[in-house]
Amino acid sequence: MTFPLWPRLLCALALCSSLAHAADVSPASEETEAAAPAEDAAVTHAYEILTQARAAFGVEAFQKLGSYTLSGSGTLQQGKQSTAVERFDLQVDARRGMFVQSLKPAGVPATVRSGFDGSSFWMVPGDGAKRDANLASLHARLQGQIRSYAPLRDDPHSQYVRWQGSEGCGEQMCDTLHFDPSGQSAFELAIRRSDHRIAILRVLDEQNKVTLREEYTAWQTVAGVQLPARMRTDFGSGVLDLQLTATVSTRPAEYSTFAAPPAIPPWQFAEGTKQVELPIELVNNQMFIRARLNGQGPFLLMFDTGGSLIIDQGMAEQVKVQAGGAHEFKGGGWSAQRGSLSVVDQLQLGEQGELQLNQWLAPIVDSRVMCGRTKLSLPCAGSIGGDLLRYFPVTLDFERKVLIIHNRDHFTPPEGQTKLAATLYDNHIPQVDGQIEGKPARLLLDSGSDVNLFVTEPYTDNSRLLYKVRTTAVYLMGWGYGGGMHGRLARMNEFGPGEFKLKQLSAALLSTADGMLASKDFDALLGLGAMQRFNLTIDMPGNAVYLEKNSHFDQPDTNELRDSWLR
């Protein structure tokens, strides 16, 4: 499952534009009103324009400042989707180019923060501070210089700058200056001829394409300095449009204001813990493990390798999570599932909380499709699964009915088991090669599915399965996130992961053009009914799945499928 809003928020504050594909916009140098003069004349003309811009900006007053802050609200637009920005704050060290900024979208319980401490860029997206001293920090250094108005503060004669040409800035004309600082990205400033204020900033890549474009359509005078009152930033994958109020201080902010906060890792093993062993509760072909959430519980969570952390809306108050804004995602059903976003501050696994997850995003949805029809030993708070697989090798031992989460620093692959190469589909579902009725098939391991096998309609058609196996008529087979699923039940001759062959088990052949199960990117889901016939270790950090048959391998099918139903 995906969270399409969150990456956009990170991009808005993490200089995503500088790291993404260049925008389909060319700098002013390719569309000028007049040809540039000779090189010496272009440089001299740039010095003259900068001198006028310095006076209009109020450089002498700005040099008396220690820091300034821009605060406000606005919108974040990507494609046709618009998100209200409840609060935006940017604080800049006016002398050293350090900055810290934060963005709080309406309806989302977390605030995204990022900053530059003079050497490294850092970001807190909800799972602890992350420092990047490489490419992002180079772009952050340039942003810090621009935010502290170094192009206007510094002596024009000390800068690599030239007049690039003229361009229209709305209803006015601008002169465009091209800056080429040593060791950093080139950038351009379009300066209005009427009042000598900056109208547009463009940051360029090595191919001279625009990676970030910022427009300043209104300014405000504070302590003799001109600062933006309306700022529109196009960072390639979206546009951040803000109305801003400025405040200034003559005292420099403390360095701690811009320093990265203490790192909070997304997970923590207790000291000396090599693995965490959790009892499995198997009920109606669903698998549950125990967990404590935000100090509450214990609760049961369905272990779903085809899903991620989800909180049942009926349990949100008990587990002390706050519902944020509306959120949609798709599962197996024919339409989108509506819910809201939340953040689980702490989730503990193990008898003594040997593994703790910190600041994990989770949608709050109606999860009766997981828990509502099942009588359990403890309240069911939701699900977890595929999101763990990105970080930890996980063993499912159905012989002993235990789930083992391995500390990957101490993990040793099991000996004597069949190793299959594996990848992550949609960043959370294990995918392996296998076969269905003698034909190669791409199988997703989905312990949240209570059947043996879900076969997609494209694979059913391409493999002509309806001519190879007996099936029922098409009917409404069941419900998943986002609605129902139509298809046929079938008695399969053989299928399985790798070279393993499970025989005479039931499967569902889907007839749906919507939802995840209409995809052509995989061929079938191997559900819990089939998975529990193996002991398996899913080692996605190592891109492998290890399997061995267990005592359930040859047992009769537990899913009812009468011969009288088949055609």
Total residue length of the chain: 567
**Contact of 494 with 438, CB cutoff 8 Å:** yes
Q: What is the DSSP letter of 11?
A: H
**For residue 151, cis peptide bond before it (omega within 30 degrees of 0):** no
Domains and CATH numbers, the chain: 7-257 (2.50.20.10), 267-397 (2.40.70), 407-565 (2.40.70.10)
Q: How large is the average pLDDT for residues 430-437?
A: 97
pLDDT tens digits for range 185-235: 899 999 999 999 999 999 998 888 998 999 999 999 999 999 999 999 998
Secondary structure of residue 61 in the 3-state scheme: helix
Contacts of 192 (CB under 8 A, 6+ apart): 169, 172, 173, 174, 198, 199
Element of type H or E holding 163:
strand 161-169
Q: How large is the average pLDDT for residues 340-361?
A: 88
Q: What is the pTM of this model?
A: 0.65
Q: What is the DSSP letter of 427?
A: T
Report which of 271, 290, 534 is spatially closest to residue 410, judged by C-alpha positions.
271
φ, ψ of residue 45 in degrees (nearest 5): -65, -40
φ, ψ of residue 359 in degrees (nearest 5): 55, 55
**Contact of 22 with 205, CB cutoff 8 Å:** yes
**CA dist., res. 325 & res. 76, Å (int):** 14
pLDDT tens digits for range 533-556: 999 999 999 999 999 999 999 998
**For residue 379, cis peptide bond before it (omega within 30 degrees of 0):** no
Q: Residue 20: how many CB atoms within 10 A of its CB?
A: 14
Whole-number mean pLDDT of the chain? Answer: 85
Query: Tokens 């689980």 appear where?
Result: 344
Whether 30 shows a pLDDT value over 50: the answer reads: no
**CA dist., res. 451 & res. 555, Å (int):** 15
Using CA of residue 42, residue 43, residue 45, residue 49, what is the dihedral sign? positive
